[in-house]
A and B are shown apart, each in its own frame.
Chain A
Amino acid sequence: MPPTPEPPAAVRLENVRRAFRSGKRMITALEGITASAAQGAVTGLIGPDGAGKTTLMRLVAGLLRADAGQIEVLGTDVGREPLAVQARLGYMPQHFGLYEDLTVEENLNLYADLQGVPRSARQERYAQLLHMTGLGPFTARMAGRLSGGMKQKLGLACTLVQPPELLLLDEPTVGVDPVSRRELWEIIGHLTREAHVTVLFSTAYLDEAERCDAVLLIHDGRLLGSGPPGAFTAEMSGRSFYATSGLGRRRLQARLAAAPGVIDAVIQGSHVRVVTAEAHVPDPAALVAEATDLALTPTPPRFEDSFVARLRTRPLPPQSAAVRTPEASASESQRAQSHSGNGVSPEPVIIVHHLTRRFGAFIAVNDVTFSVGRGEIFGLLGANGAGKSTTFRMLCGLLPPSEGELRVSGFDLRTAAATARSRIGYMAQKFSLYSDLSVRQNLRFFSSAYRLEGARQSARIDWAIGEFDLAPMLESSARDLPLGFKQRLALACALMHEPNILFLDEPTSGVDPLARREFWQRINALAESGVTVLVTTHFMEETEYCDRLVIMAQGRVLTEGTPEAIKGAAHRPDRPDPTMEDAFIAVIEAASAKAVA
């Protein structure tokens, strides 16, 4: 054995390339990836949906073969000897790979059999795993009846029955509540410290980068950067600020996003968070002419800033070069009518009053009350299974409530569901487009589904093509569109009939930060023009764009308020600047403490 001068890498990728055939086209999933993951460390594989994270995971696990390049896992060429590698690693695919019709214990038994854990060693190992995951009381429960967080932990336990040298976790935190997410990170910390397991962890949540020892940032199949998360934020130091002005945050955000020297401007609470191209404090007076009272306060950089900076400096592919502010479409007069966007107009457009929905003995939505004013962006935040979707379906008139009152645009949904529905535009999660139809055919179909015809239909289709920059890919089938483009098309389809209420179901989870910014810019412009927007999400960042939100868990509303107020309530001396996730956890902990008392 030759001596190794550097700390050995558990995973080494050298110029890896992988493409897939989709119909007649070849899609390059990964290109020229050269990276490594150090032994005993947690390496985060971070990037938006469709970046190539899962492909990379599968390559490392030996489930796919690279078209070109070398992949060495634990010192073995995985392309040549996948079985030798697979005997030494644990892999948790998306959706955890559990048998939902087997109990917790039966799942563990199966994986113990498969990994060759001797029967004599099992009881002790199970006890450790059940203790670590907190699943001890549930061994006889079917895996399908566990909550999302518990499934995630059981999936992890199954991959750990035989302690692996390398643990591959493919998006384990998607759709899982923040409490479980935090617990998962504690388990991972424990594994690397005590058992010296190497972990490769993929995620679309950029805020998880800071928990990793090292980060591989990938986008569109290419490596945008690698290194410790501190190095990513260090290069952004001195470039991020909170901007405040009396102009109103949405208008301020739109002006700042277009200002020279600014590479990023997002709404954060009542401020706008600005990132500059260079590390010096810009002159506030020169940034936005209208905002004479503009004040800038420095704030520490985030991982996301460096992602945005890398995306901005990269040569842009042609179709996203056309990103422009859509506010030109919302006419000045319309905007003058509405308030700055922060205020709630007097008469509410959506009224939900003591709403309850039962499925047999199960209460999916429990005594929920809120109201949303015209031109307001209102969020429903909660983990999977919190009752968001059920509430949404009742608001769309797709599901009758068991109890309570529901009014949309003044119509009672019990008696006038169809009328109320004609005022609503709905953009479903995963966009629900017809993937075999072209962009133009999708527009035509959805516009006729909303009963548009003749000249008006053509006018609306032309409007959508111009407004959402759909012209470059008009004849491509929806299947082949990039994610951000799909999102634009889905929004265009939801707006064909000019609804005055827009429902968005997790609209930007997993899309890259630029596409997300662009999307919210459009939504902001719509809200400014008086459209009422209701968003459901489990994605903390999306709530920052809301005027007000409710946090839901187990069918109940736990708290309601502006993002500022909700975060402010979680303020503690040791946590001076709480994030929405901190606030969410604090609210859930407070609720369970109350339930115990």
Chain B
Amino acid sequence: MKSASLLRLTGLMRKEFVQIGRDPSALAVAFILPAVLLMIFGYGVSLDARNVPLALVVEQPDALTASFTGQFAHSPYFRPRYYLTIQAAERAMAAREVNGVVWLRSDFSRRTLFPGAAPIGLIVNGVDANNARIVEGYVQQVWAQWLTARLGARPYLPAIALEPRVRFNPAVISKDYLIPGLIAMIMTLTGALLTALVIAREWERGTMEALMVTRVQMREILLAKLIPYFVLGMGGMAVAVGLAVFLFGVPLHGSLLVLTATSTLFMLAALGMGLLISGIARNQFVAGQIAIITTFLPAFILSGFVFDINSMPRAVQLLTHIVAARYFVSILQSVFLAGDIWSVILPNAVALAAMAVIFLGLARANARKRLD
């Protein structure tokens, strides 16, 4: 009995690999889709401000203003443009030629030497709130550095100076924490798509009906789908990690072993979700739609990869717990940027394991050897 079951399983798996080999679309979803998405997002999405066009209005140029504006000219973050009046600068901002205006009034040099109100004016374009806040922060930093350097140990400086120190991502490069998140998101999509499409395809082409009336058992059909696509999905994961480390230069502080083990759990959850969708939809088009809506979008919005979970409303925070990508994002960010931090990895890994068990269990329970 055991060997007959093994024969069926290997027969089905061989069939699956032959089909994968002949159908480039599965290979494309597994390898090319993650690579392309990672490149597009990796290069396109960045929360860093670089080369921000910034208007500098100097009403009365002298040595002191030149020294201050020089800071902007040498900064990699800004591309300064010079204006003589605040009106001209504001027109440029309205035309979206610049993202912010630094305004040095005619009394700049005089007032800088005395304590009191801030002598520079900063106007940022609030249409893009995120960008505005970044510009604001950078300008303040430049101002503080210039003041420190210029005025050194003058007694009227504030007694307490804030000195930011960023742990785990010392260069504060957003790419380094975005890319691990992107990997989680992309693998959610490909993992679910791979299995969602293939079982639906068997239903669509009528081969599922023929399979069911053999001695085969549903768990064999599911396993024969799960194993090949697990191999494929992990291959895609390897491609994504390789690109992250070697192309984008994201550091990998944790161990490959932990990365592989947690990826396995995540991939099982994602494939399980795909199997469940596939069994319910029984139609490739619908399965594809459901897979994108239920995996990709929540992973994007609710995984904490772009939007901080702690700042979400309580109800939405609860909702994030059913998004597998949430746990994987935490794990990947930790493994890449901090190392094997067990207090982060263990609870998230347990959650992923639970989700894998739930999705695979539901997929199994839903796959009855009947058409009704």
Contact = CB atoms under 8 A, between A and B. Distances in A.
B282 to A, nearest CB: 14
A93 interface: yes
B319 interface: no
Interface stretch (A98-106, A211-219, A221-229, A287-295): A98-106
Nearest to A89: B213
Given A97-B206, A99-B207, A101-B22, A61 B12 contact: no
B215 interface: yes
A63 B370 contact: yes
B210 interface: yes
Interface stretch (A108-116, A504-512, A577-585): A108-116
A125 B15 CA distance: 20
Interface string A60-86: 011111000000000000000011001
B157 to A, nearest CB: 74
Given A113-B8, A114-B215, A94 B371 contact: no
Interface string A129-157: 00000000000000000000000000100
A83 B215 CA distance: 7
Contact of B10 (A64, A113, A155, A158): A113
Contacts of A116: 4, 7-8, 215
Nearest to B6: A113
A100 B371 CA distance: 22
Contact of B15 (A96, A110, A168): A110
A362 to B, nearest CB: 21
A64 B370 contact: yes
| Interface class of chain B by DSSP | helix
Contacts of B23: 101
A106 B14 CA distance: 9
A460 B273 CA distance: 52
A111 B206 contact: no
Given A82-B370, A113-B10, A114-B12, 11 more contacts: A62-B213, A63-B213, A83-B215, A93-B213, A95-B206, A97-B209, A97-B211, A99-B15, A101-B18, A115-B214, A168-B213
Given A63-B209, A86-B214, A98-B207, A114 B11 contact: yes
A91 interface: yes
B205 interface: yes
Contacts of A115: 214-215
Interface of B: 4, 7-8, 10-12, 14-15, 18-19, 22-23, 205-207, 209-217, 369-372
B8 A93 contact: no
Contact of A102 (B10, B19, B210): B19
A435 to B, nearest CB: 15
Nearest to B206: A95
Interface of A: 58, 61-65, 82-83, 86-87, 89-102, 106, 109-116, 155, 158, 168
A62 B213 CA distance: 8
Contacts of B215: 83, 86-87, 114-116
A65 B11 CA distance: 28
25 contacts: A58-B371, A65-B372, A82-B370, A83-B215, A86-B212, A90-B213, A93-B206, A93-B209, A94-B206, A98-B207, A98-B210, A99-B15, A99-B19, A101-B18, A101-B22, A101-B23, A106-B15, A109-B11, A110-B11, A110-B15, A113-B8, A113-B10, A113-B14, A114-B211, A114-B214
Contacts of A58: 209, 371
Contact of B7 (A94, A102, A113): A113
Given A65-B372, A83-B215, A101-B19, A113 B12 contact: yes
B210 A93 contact: yes
Contacts of B370: 62-65, 82
Nearest to B371: A63
Contacts of B205: 95, 99-100
A114 B206 contact: no
B212 A63 contact: yes
B210 A92 contact: yes
